[in-house]
């Protein structure tokens, strides 16, 4: 059972990844971003998830340095993730993109580096680059994002190293059960982006009823549901109060019946792009 904010899942290569972290999608560079990341670290978060396309790696890096200085937390205690953008997929270009992300973040290494989207004809060469960076000791773990089962199968056919993580859109309206079963079978840790469905679930009656029973918010119930399903989750927030609230999910447990009721909300409904049909 996951007991606190620093609890970790062990990836297939033995690296420990926190179950819970802060996402910074669509948070612009500036004081708001820096304060959010620092607040999260101050309140016990150890995992921060960014991406090249978010254009905020420099601010995330600054916040990490300031937080380490102010709290005395060592770099090794933090788990920092970034992702290579579609335009940079390819062997040489992915390696260059990694170095650029590292430079912006001001770090010596990343804990996890992901291919952001499965661009056909490009993701395999990008994966070779990730394998190289991993073997050279520049990244602790490598993975993918938004990969469906057939993308994973295609990648694993020719790769030396299996992805350690697959981060996908995941929430009660999109439970991706088959994908999760596939990932579990192959030792790939699933992660959730947009776990709160960008706020679309916050007035759901079933979730409201369960939340009231536990004296929790709907957001807390959904995030707890993620963890009880063994899915790493990275809710985004810039408000300190919400950052604290999102992480206050270790003092209650959803029953099997409640988990099933939440599973029953699935409609295979996406708020983000479809990994089989995107054009960016």
Provide, rounded to the nearest whole percent, the portion of the chain with pLDDT above 70.
100
Tens digit of each residue's pLDDT (9 = 90 or more) over 200-257: 999 999 999 999 999 999 999 999 999 999 999 999 999 999 999 999 999 999 999 9
| Cα 198 from Cα 237, distance rounded (Å) | 11
Q: What is the pLDDT of residue 1?
A: 77
Tens digit of each residue's pLDDT (9 = 90 or more) over 190-210: 999 999 999 999 999 999 999
Q: What is the pLDDT of residue 27?
A: 86
| Cα 4 from Cα 218, distance rounded (Å) | 19
**80: confidence class by pLDDT, cuts 50, 70, 90:** very high
CB neighbour class for 92 (10 Å; exposed up to 12, middle 13-18, buried from 19): exposed
| Cα 2 from Cα 20, distance rounded (Å) | 10
Please report, to the nearest 10 degrees, the dihedral formed by the alpha carbons of residues 173, 177, 149, 18 taken in order.
90
- In whole angstroms, how far apart are CA 245 and each of 74, 105, 176, 195? 25, 27, 26, 15
Q: What is the pLDDT of residue 28?
A: 87
Task: Report the interhelical angle of 205-214 vs 218-228 (nearest 10°).
Answer: 90
**46: confidence class by pLDDT, cuts 50, 70, 90:** very high
What is the number of alpha carbons within 13 Å of residue 86 lying toward its C-beta?
Answer: 10
Radius of gyration of the chain (CA): 18
Structure tokens at 203: 């007035």
- The mean pLDDT value for 157-171 works out to 97
- The mean pLDDT value for 139-148 works out to 98
Residue 238 lies in a domain: yes
Residue 273 lies in a domain: no
Structure tokens at 129: 């680059």
- The mean pLDDT value for 139-147 works out to 98
Residue 218 lies in a domain: yes
Kindly list the catalytic residues: 54
- The mean pLDDT value for 115-129 works out to 97
What is the number of alpha carbons within 13 Å of residue 7 lying toward its C-beta?
Answer: 15
Q: What are phi and psi of 93, to 5 degrees?
A: -65, -35
Domain that holds residue 162: 14-263
Which CATH number characterizes residue 43's domain?
A: 3.20.20.100
- Contact (Cβ atoms closer than 8 angstroms) between residue 225 and residue 262: yes
Structure tokens at 257: 């019946």
Strands (E) across 194-247 are located at 232-233
Cβ neighbour number for residue 182 with a 10 Å cutoff? 18
| Cα 78 from Cα 147, distance rounded (Å) | 26
Query: DSSP secondary-structure letter at 55?
Result: T
Residue 272 lies in a domain: no
Residue 208 lies in a domain: yes
- In whole angstroms, how far apart are CA 53 and each of 50, 59, 101, 163, 203? 9, 13, 10, 21, 31
Residue 268 lies in a domain: no
User: How many domains would you assign to the chain?
Assistant: 1
What is the number of alpha carbons within 13 Å of residue 195 lying toward its C-beta?
Answer: 27
Residue 168 lies in a domain: yes
Cβ neighbour number for residue 2 with a 10 Å cutoff? 16
| Cα 5 from Cα 178, distance rounded (Å) | 28
Sign of CA dihedral 236, 240, 243, 245: negative
Q: How many helices (H) and strands (E) does the chain have?
A: 10, 10
Residue 31 lies in a domain: yes
- The mean pLDDT value for 26-42 works out to 93
Instruction: Answer whether residue 116 shows pLDDT above 80.
Output: yes
- The mean pLDDT value for 56-62 works out to 97
């Amino acid at each position: 059972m996951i007991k606190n904010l620093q609890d970790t899942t062990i990836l297939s290569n033995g690296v420990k990844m926190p179950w819970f972290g802060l996402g910074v999608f669509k948070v612009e560079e500036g004081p708001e971003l820096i304060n959010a990341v620092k607040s999260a670290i101050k309140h016990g978060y150890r995992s921060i998830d960014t991406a090249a396309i978010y254009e905020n790696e420099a601010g995330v890096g600054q916040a990490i340095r300031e937080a380490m200085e102010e709290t005395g937390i060592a770099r090794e205690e933090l788990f920092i993730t970034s992702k290579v953008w579609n335009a940079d997929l390819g062997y040489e270009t992915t390696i260059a993109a990694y170095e650029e992300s590292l430079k912006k973040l001001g770090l010596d290494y990343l804990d996890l580096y992901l291919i952001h989207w499965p661009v056909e004809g490009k993701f395999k060469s990008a994966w070779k680059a990730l394998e190289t960076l991993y073997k050279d000791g520049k990244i602790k773990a490598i993975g993918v994002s938004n990969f469906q089962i057939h993308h994973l199968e295609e990648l694993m056919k020719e790769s030396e190293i299996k992805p350690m993580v697959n981060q996908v859109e995941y929430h009660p309206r999109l439970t991706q059960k088959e994908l999760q079963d596939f990932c579990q079978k192959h030792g790939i840790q699933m992660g959730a982006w947009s776990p709160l469905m960008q706020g679309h679930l916050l007035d759901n009656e079933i979730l409201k009823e369960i939340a009231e029973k536990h004296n929790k918010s709907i957001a807390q119930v959904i995030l707890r549901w993620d963890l009880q399903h063994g899915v790493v989750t990275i809710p985004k927030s810039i408000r300190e109060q919400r950052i604290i609230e999102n992480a206050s999910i270790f003092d209650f447990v959803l029953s099997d019946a409640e988990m099933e009721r939440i599973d029953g909300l699935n409609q295979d409904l996406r708020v983000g792009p479809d990994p089989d049909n995107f054009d960016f």
